[in-house]
């Protein structure tokens, strides 16, 4: 621990959507926070309000820079690893970058954390379940359930595999090197600062609705998702980092409330009072040929509740409202 028990926390990807909300929270708690972000999808604007805070510093660089990472990890007490290639659009357009950042990046983070024996929370994704829920009779996804990933010729699954490899590596460090590691699988996270640029559905729908432009649903809209507000995700991350029983565990973080994408489009339209048309286009037009989606993705969060006593508090309307307010401001 640093002077006078002020914790120093390193947040990789701290200028990103989720990372920047975590940074707000950690600074509020009185931590010293260092961010490393290459601004590939993150934005300095997201953390601009902290630039004069003496507890805050940021480095614009890649987590693949191992000597720099080594220095930053040495100086901190714990690491939240959020830097990753994210967003289905980005993953489809830049597959090499996705694999390199997600596989080699996490490798660097874990190696440095292990060298200095620092506690690390690795964020993974519900994408690692792949199409499991289409195949298991629709039961919510449990951490110890099987994954069902599509063929390697289908680019989308590269992301799932890269994050699954991150999980294997993190758990291997925990088992073999006794590194204190927590692995978190994030389900669709939504809130202020998320852009629709990389494909995410809620900011996309809200932006279109506010402009009275067509809301574009991919496929027939009967696929469903479960959305979690970013404030709930941050709460869960902070609690899991502090919970000794979470070490060496993989934990779902999500909100089990489920909605079809068609109903989501209707709800966004209603809540914005929009005149937008809802249009349906085939997946191929959105993502190119051979794209595979999953029908449903809903978390079982009993493990999170059992470990932290926490359940998400913001419901779907609250989530959408916060995104509307963000784009209106």
Structure tokens, 268: 């966004």
Is residue 200 part of the contact set for ligand UDP (CB under 6 A)?
Answer: yes
Is residue 186 part of the contact set for ligand UDP (CB under 6 A)?
Answer: no
Q: What b/e string do you get for 283-305 counting C-beta neighbours within 10 Å, with b at 16 or more?
A: beebbeeebebbebbbbbbebbe
Least spacing, CB of residue 314 vs ligand UDP, in Å: 17
- Distance between CA atoms of residues 226 and 300, nearest Å: 11
Q: Which of 58, 80, 129, 159 is catalytic?
A: 159
Q: How far is CA 201 from CA 61, 182, 322, in A?
A: 28, 28, 15
Is residue 201 part of the contact set for ligand UDP (CB under 6 A)?
Answer: yes
Is residue 298 part of the contact set for ligand UDP (CB under 6 A)?
Answer: no
Candidate list 33, 109, 216, 324; residue touching ligand UDP; CB under 6 A: 216
The count of chain residues that interact with ligand UDP, using the rule CB under 6 A, is: 13
| Cβ-proximal residues to 277 (8 Å cutoff; 6+ apart), any chain | 214, 215
- Distance between CA atoms of residues 267 and 111, nearest Å: 45
Is residue 203 part of the contact set for ligand UDP (CB under 6 A)?
Answer: no
Is residue 88 part of the contact set for ligand UDP (CB under 6 A)?
Answer: yes
Candidate list 34, 223, 226, 252; residue touching ligand UDP; CB under 6 A: 223
Is residue 230 part of the contact set for ligand UDP (CB under 6 A)?
Answer: no
Tally of CB atoms within 10 A around 93: 15
Candidate list 19, 180, 199, 299; residue touching ligand UDP; CB under 6 A: 199
Please count the residues of the chain: 329
Burial zone of 313 (CB within 10 Å; 0-12 exposed, 13-18 middle, 19+ buried)? exposed
- Any catalytic annotation for residue 159? yes
- Distance between CA atoms of residues 70 and 44, nearest Å: 23
Binding region for ligand UDP (CB under 6 A) out of 49-57, 198-206, 270-278, 321-329: 198-206
Q: What b/e string do you get for 95-118 counting C-beta neighbours within 10 Å, with b at 16 or more?
A: beebbebbbebbbbbbbbbbeeeb
Binding region for ligand UDP (CB under 6 A) out of 42-50, 69-77, 92-100, 217-225: 217-225
Is residue 293 part of the contact set for ligand UDP (CB under 6 A)?
Answer: yes
Candidate list 204, 226, 231, 272; residue touching ligand UDP; CB under 6 A: 204
Is residue 217 part of the contact set for ligand UDP (CB under 6 A)?
Answer: yes
Q: What b/e string do you get for 47-66 counting C-beta neighbours within 10 Å, with b at 16 or more?
A: beebeeeeebbbbeebbeeb
Is residue 26 part of the contact set for ligand UDP (CB under 6 A)?
Answer: no
For the window 46-85, what string marks contact with ligand UDP as x by the rule CB under 6 A?
----------------------------------------
263: Cα separation from own chain's centroid: 23
Q: Please identify every residue annotated as catalytic.
A: 159
Q: Which residues bind ligand UDP (CB under 6 A)?
A: 88, 188, 199-201, 204, 216-218, 223, 225, 261, 293
């Amino acid at each position: 621990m640093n002077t006078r028990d002020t914790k120093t926390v390193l947040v990789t990807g701290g200028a990103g959507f989720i990372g920047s909300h975590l940074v707000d929270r950690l600074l509020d708690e009185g931590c010293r926070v260092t961010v490393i972000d290459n601004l590939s999808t993150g934005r300095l604007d997201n953390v601009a309000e902290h630039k004069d805070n003496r507890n805050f510093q940021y480095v614009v660089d890649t987590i693949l820079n191992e000597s720099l990472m080594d220095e930053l990890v040495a100086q901190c007490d714990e690491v939240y690893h959020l830097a990753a290639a994210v967003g289905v659009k980005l993953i489809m357009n830049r597959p090499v970058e996705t694999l390199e950042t997600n596989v080699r990046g996490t490798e660097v983070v874990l190696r440095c954390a292990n060298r200095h024996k620092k506690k690390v929370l690795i964020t993974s994704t519900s994408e690692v379940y792949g199409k499991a829920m289409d195949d298991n009779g629709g039961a919510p996804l449990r951490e110890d359930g099987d994954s069902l990933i599509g063929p390697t010729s289908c680019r989308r699954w590269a992301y799932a595999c890269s994050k699954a490899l991150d999980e294997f590596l993190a758990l291997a460090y925990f088992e073999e090197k006794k590194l204190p590691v927590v692995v978190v699988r994030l389900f669709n996270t939504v809130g202020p600062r998320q852009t629709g640029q990389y494909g995410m559905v809620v900011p996309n729908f809200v932006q279109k609705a506010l402009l009275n432009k067509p809301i574009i649903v991919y496929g027939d809209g009967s696929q469903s998702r479960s959305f979690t507000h970013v404030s709930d995700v941050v709460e869960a991350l902070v609690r899991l980092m502090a919970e000794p029983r979470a070490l060496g565990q993989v934990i779902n973080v999500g909100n089990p409330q489920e909605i079809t994408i068609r109903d989501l489009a209707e709800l966004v339209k209603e809540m914005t009072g929009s005149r937008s048309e809802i249009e349906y286009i085939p997946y191929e037009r959105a993502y190119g040929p051979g794209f595979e989606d999953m029908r449903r993705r809903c978390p079982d969060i009993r493990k999170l509740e059992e470990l932290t006593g926490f359940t998400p508090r913001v419901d779907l309307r609250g989530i959408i409202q916060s995104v509307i307010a963000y784009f209106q401001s």
